[in-house]
Amino acid sequence: MNALALLFAAACGIHFDVPKGWMVRVDHPETNVCTAGVSPRDWDELVEKARWPDGDDAVVVSVVSGTLRDAAEVADFFFDEDSGKLMANDRGGTYPPGRARYSGMPGWEFSGWSRGFAKDGADLRGDSRLTSDTFTSVLLERNAHTWIVVQYTVGNPDIPEERVGRVKAAKKILRSVR
């Protein structure tokens, strides 16, 4: 584990491994949520140069203190009013996330599809302004009142997965979180 992941562990109460050369940035957007943005060192430069927008971080890890409902909201999940089941939105419909288990913690995982548009004024050189992304959200139960959410998006044409390795980084985090 690198020193930055240790900093997050101290601030948020969990530990995880990150790929060599990746950085961890800690934030507390809400009193019950501690978030770490995990990105390659050159992430800001890659996002700035990209013609399509991307997230502030390559992978986002959140620790949520509270109820499953609180954690579901952070994970972009929700409970269906009629059935009471955990659901996620994708392509205009609602779908149940699949069951998941990482680092011995049970939970749910959902991958879906989204559309994005190029930045205003981007020189597209004949490319479409429209792009398609795949987003993934994983919600794990650490204990009765603590939840871990790991999220990332892949698909920006100017930030190729082969170059950055978000999926590999997220899987490393999920396998090592404790």
Which residue segments constitute the domains of the chain, with CATH numbers given? 3-176 (3.40.1000)
Interval 93-124: pLDDT, tens: 999 999 999 999 999 999 999 888 999 999 99
What's at 55, amino acid-wise? G
Distances (CA, A) of 64 to 135, 139, 143, 148: 20, 10, 11, 6
Q: Is the pTM of this model over 0.75?
A: yes
- Match 């109460």 to its residue by tokens: 13
Interval 53-93: pLDDT, tens: 999 999 999 999 999 999 999 999 999 999 999 999 998 89
